[in-house]
Chain A
Amino acid sequence: MLLVLAACAAPVSDLPAAQDTARGDTGADDTATDTGPTGPDVPPPALTASEVGAALDVALAGEIPTFPEAIGAFSALMALGVGCTPDDRFFKILDPEGCLAPSGVTYSGAGGAVGGWDDAGEVYTYELRGDLVIIDAAGVPYEMGGDIDTVVTPYVGGLAFSQQFLGTFRYPAAPTWLGRGTSGSAWIEADIGDDGALVAQVDGGYDLGGASVYFDALTVGGACGSAPTGAIRLRDMSGYWYVFTYGPECDTCGDVAYAGDSLGAACVDPTAAMAGIGEAVRTWMSDHPVVTE
């Protein structure tokens, strides 16, 4: 009978919802003394619109993470792994004690980096993937949980670049973003011109120097030319988000909203951070030219 009863029950979403009752009403009868929840009340914003803009400027000053630094540091450490990393590309060391190489570097976990030009020399791909920690000879750990996938396709006059960045990467001995460490789930698509022209779009989130930032189609070189379009979110420590959205004027300014309400205008210039993407890729590729037989 229970099945029959359940079958003819209304969908839960059709039943009286908690939200239909007054705040804090947990369904008590008339005699109840209800001390149940009375929230959540969205706390007032901790930042003004201009402070949000300034915070985003600071976050973006630390550059947007790209693959070269992560792979470069990993490859350098792998090169010191004689006795632990036989092919210099992968290792899988399940012993929690790790493997101590004569170089003084300790390897633990599993991961690797593989990539290069395809046979035709037309597409360059690289993947770094790891669930590992490598402790360098100075005792500094390179902690990794995730993967970075990169595809670079040269064309006449530039490079088409895409990157998927997923996971946590931290190596305090490295300069820039890897040294500070980051966690992210983000995607970049870019056309990087040899002449410095850049069309780039970033989607997804990064922890940038302790600030949680999320890009919604942040684009330069698009509809507004060199001026940015799209939006950038900044998370308040309360758990709510500020949303900075570029306006139609094609400048670096836009509106800041918090919990759906506008806080006013602010300006955020991502040009340098976006240019850094192009510069990092261009430098890496110049160091890894196509090899023809």
Chain B
Amino acid sequence: MILALLLACAPVAEAPPADEAPATMGLPGPPTSALALAGWEGDAPYLTPLSAPRLLRRMSLDLRGILPSEAELDAVEADPSALDALRDAYLADPRLEDRLVALFAERWHTVMDEYEVNSDDYGLFPHDADMFAHAVGEEPLRLLAHVVVNDLPWSDVVTADYTMANEMLGSVWPLDYPEGEEGWKVARYTDGRPAAGVLSTNGFWWRYVTNESNKNRGRVAAISKLLLCTDILARPVVFERSTETDPEHAIRTQPACQSCHAAIDPAAASLFGYWWVIQYNPYEMDTYHAEREPLGPTLLGVSPAWYGTPINGLVDLGWHVAEDPRFVRCGAQSFAEQLWHREVALRDYASVEALRSEFVASGLSPLTLLRAVTDTAEYRAGGFTPDAPDIVRERERVERLLSPNQLGAVIAEETGFAWTAAGYTQLENDVFGYRVLRGGVNGYSATEVQQAPGLTWMMVNTRVAQAAAFSVVARDLDAGEGLTVRGVTLETTASDPALATALTSLYWRWYAERPDDAWTEAITALWATVAAEEGTASAWRSVLEAMIRDPKFQAY
């Protein structure tokens, strides 16, 4: 620990140059040779990997949002080396884009149920409210996902001269969305806003609003947290008691204030094209106000700059963010955090540094980074070595819970049940739905995905499982489609080997594990008991509900 303190407190002048060891979380990195001694080599030595089928299931859920096929599971069971090729296929799967949007929503928090301007402000139909809210929040996330799936340099997320829009946004915002088209497509704003990737999207700024006193400063904090992994609000600033009554004067003169505002305010001065005179007004909020750009220096008393380097405004901002050494490292860190399902800390320095190096070497290829993260021990972890300390067991996520988005996608794919009501996707909203109750993120008050089971989580799972099981029986057994439950009918009995075959096959497909005899006997007994009392359809509904509620299904 002493060594760690010494390393961290070393004079900045002794830190390696930026092009050798970029800063992380505002700190200089340690010399690599000291990693082990400092305990910054991570938890990898204490982690054991998942089985190949179970790992394939994790990859499929993370990258496609659905389960692997039985053939894919069979392939990696027979030859674990087939895993990498299947992972690469998943990275090329068209479902990756939607999956990334859901993943980014958990970190960027732009998807909310309501904004200061809503669908009714545009005269849209009430049943379009959820679609509109999702479209707004997904706009920046779709741009991020577009960069990833097309394997464009990650810096494009802050320099792209386009955004992503669907037909709804295209109809109400100043965009050149192609007439008569539908779906998410590349589009450009027509209101003269500069090219700055996500920093030029309405969706980002509608989530990260400001007001007359904040003057875009909170927005800079959002940029810093999301794109540099530097949480300005977490800085340990000590304020002295002051008789100062003018906060703006204090910000400009008090050393404690300046410790952050010296950097924040000049960056905030570049954002006044998004300075809305009246919030809640569509004419103000959906259009970029280029004529207000020069207001920043007037209202903040500083010229636009990025950490000391003068800039011309938003037109330069994205480029300077991209050139900040923390940006690339943050890209590596944030992908790792999302796929490891935990925050990255100093002990992960070596792991993240390896990812960053590979990321840079690839020309900031997001797919290379995704591939590299899925290669890490932390991602592949399924258990611990016997000597793993308790602290490692507490912090590593060797089992991850399906998010509401993943659950909805898997259930729809496996059972045909899509839970919607009044135009709302029930696991994706909290107006009529159950997103937060099921452990999801709503963008403002619930900002982290639930990592452990809870009461409402279980209640929602129960309802989903019941409805999904009902759907499967109606489709596969009543209608005889046999998509999920195969080789059996409603006339099949407990003693018929086809029953056990169908159940063990489902176990393999849903859990990526082979059931043991005890499970097969128990589930068959459950089936037989219910069948005897309520009939075979009810028996199937019961066992399917039980299997969906099983932790092996809900975790991955």
Interchain CB contact under 8 A, A18 and B289: no
- B442 in the interface (beta carbon within 8 A): no
Q: Which residues of B contact A259 (CB under 8 A)?
A: 312
Q: Contact mask B137-170 → A, CB, 8 Å, 1/0?
A: 0000000000000000101000100000000000
A132 to B246, CA, bound (A): 34
Interchain CB contact under 8 A, A36 and B19 = no
Whether A145 contacts B346 in the complex (CB less than 8 A), given A28-B19, A37-B155, comes out as: no
Bound CA span A206–B290, Å = 9
B350 on interface, CB distance cutoff 8 Å: no
Q: How far is the CA of A259 from the CA of B312 in the complex (A)?
A: 8
Quick one: given A18-B323, A143-B283, A168-B281, are A205 and B315 in contact (CB under 8 Å)?
no
Looking at the complex, which of A6-14, A66-74, A246-254, A284-292 is the stretch in contact with chain B?
A: A6-14
User: Smallest CB-CB separation from A203: which chain B residue?
Assistant: B298
Contact flag A1-B1 (CB < 8 Å), given A37-B155, A146-B278:
yes
Distance between B269 CB and nearest chain A CB, rounded to angstroms: 14
| A168 with B287: CB separation less than 8 A | yes
* Most chain A CB within a 10 A radius of its CB, from B18, B281, B291: B291
CB within 8 Å of B: which A160-206 residues:
166-168, 170, 183-185, 204-206
In the assembled complex, the Cα of A18 lies from the Cα of B282 at a distance in Å of 37
- Assembly CA distance A207 to B28 (angstroms): 46
Chain A window 1-29, contacts with chain B (Cβ cutoff 8 Å), 1 for yes, 0 for no = 11111111111111111111101111111
Residue numbers in B under 8 Å from A283 (CB-CB): none
Q: Which residues of B contact A183 (CB under 8 A)?
A: 284, 287, 289, 291-292
Cα distance, A8 to B11, chains bound together (Å):
9
Q: Which residues of B in the span 349-388 have a Cβ within 8 Å of any Cβ on A? A: 356-357, 360-364
- Chain B residue with Cβ nearest A165: B277
Contact with A168, one of B284, B294, B362 (Cβ below 8 angstroms):
B284
Give chain B residues whose Cβ lies under 8 Å from the Cβ of A167.
277-278, 281, 284
Chain B's nearest CB lies how many Å from the CB of A39? 5
Chain B proximity of A213: nearest CB distance (Å): 6
Q: Is A37's CB under 8 angstroms from B319's CB?
A: yes
Taken together as a complex, chains A and B put the C-alpha atoms of A142 and B551 apart, in Å, by: 58
Among B192, B283, B322, B324, contact of A212 (Cβ-Cβ < 8 Å): B192
Taking the complex as formed, is B275 at the interface, i.e. its CB lies under 8 A from any CB of chain A? yes
CA distance A51 to B4 in the complex (A): 62
In whole angstroms, what is the CA distance A264 to B37 when docked? Answer: 63
The answer to whether the Cβ of A32 comes within 8 Å of any Cβ in the partner chain is yes
CB neighbours of A184 from chain B (8 A):
291
Tell me the chain B residues, 201-253 only, with Cβ under 8 Å from chain A.
230, 234-236
How far, in angstroms, from A13 to B192 measured CA to CA in the complex? 31
Contact yes or no, A10 B12, CB < 8 A: yes
Check B319–A40 contact: CB distance below 8 A: yes
* B307:A13 contact, CB within 8 angstroms: yes
Question: Which single residue of chain B is at the shortest CB-CB distance from A146?
Answer: B277
Contact, CB under 8 Å: A16 / B291: no
The reply to whether B277 and A26 contact each other, CB–CB distance below 8 Å, is no
Whether, in the assembled complex, A136 has its beta carbon less than 8 Å from a beta carbon of chain B, the answer is no
Chain A contacts of B308 at CB under 8 A?
Answer: 13, 17, 19
* Interface: B438 (CB within 8 A): no
Per the bound structure, the CA–CA distance linking A37 and B120 in Å amounts to 40
Cβ-defined contact, B283 with A31, below 8 A: no
Residue of A whose beta carbon sits closest to that of B364: A36
Give the size range of B's interface with the partner: 35 or more
* Residue contact B284 to A26, C-beta cutoff 8 Å: no
Flag if B18 contacts A39 (CB, 8 Å). no
Q: Which of B5, B20, B360 has the most CB of A within 10 A?
A: B360
Question: Quick check: A27 and B328 within 8 Å, CB to CB?
Answer: yes
In the complex, whether B121 has a CB less than 8 A from a CB of chain A is yes
The reply on B446 being an interface residue by CB < 8 A is no
Nearest chain B residue, comparing its CB with the CB of A36: B155
Are A239 and B315 within 8 A (Cβ)?
yes
A interface footprint on B312-338 (CB within 8 Å = 1, 0 otherwise) = 111110011011110111000000000
Which of B15, B20, B284, B316 gathers the greatest number of chain A CB atoms within 10 Å?
B284
- Chain B residues in 8 Å Cβ range of A24: 323
Bound complex: CA A183 to CA B134 (Å): 28
* Chain A residue contacts of B120, Cβ below 8 A: 96
Residue B183 at the chain A interface, CB threshold 8 Å: no
**Would you call A33 and B363 a contact (CB within 8 A)?**
yes
Determine if A36 and B323 form an interchain contact, defined as CB atoms under 8 angstroms apart: yes
Q: From residue B24, how far is it (CB to closest CB) to chain A in Å?
A: 10
B189 to chain A, nearest CB (A): 12
Q: Are B281 and A18 in contact (CB under 8 A)?
A: no
Q: Give CA–CA (A19, B326) in the complex, Å.
A: 12
Cβ of B325 and Cβ of A16 under 8 Å apart? yes
Residues of B contacting A23 in the complex (Cβ-Cβ under 8 angstroms): 323
- The answer, among B263, B278, B280, for a CB contact under 8 Å with A12, is B263
Which 7 residue pairs across A and B have the least CB separation, nearest first? Answer: A239-B315, A145-B281, A205-B291, A16-B18, A96-B120, A35-B363, A239-B194
A sample of 16 inter-chain contacts (CB < 8 A) reads A12-B26, A13-B263, A16-B325, A17-B324, A26-B327, A36-B153, A36-B322, A40-B319, A40-B320, A96-B123, A131-B281, A166-B277, A168-B283, A170-B283, A213-B291, A235-B293
Q: B interface vs A, CB < 8 Å?
A: 1, 4-5, 8-9, 12, 15, 17-20, 22-23, 25-28, 120-121, 123, 153, 155, 159, 192, 194-195, 230, 234-236, 259, 262-263, 275-278, 280-284, 287, 289-295, 306-309, 312-316, 319-320, 322-325, 327-329, 345-346, 356-357, 360-364
Given contacts A212-B192, A239-B313, 16 further A-B contacts (CB under 8 A): A5-B346, A7-B236, A9-B26, A10-B26, A18-B325, A27-B325, A37-B159, A37-B322, A131-B278, A145-B282, A166-B277, A185-B275, A206-B291, A212-B291, A239-B192, A239-B194
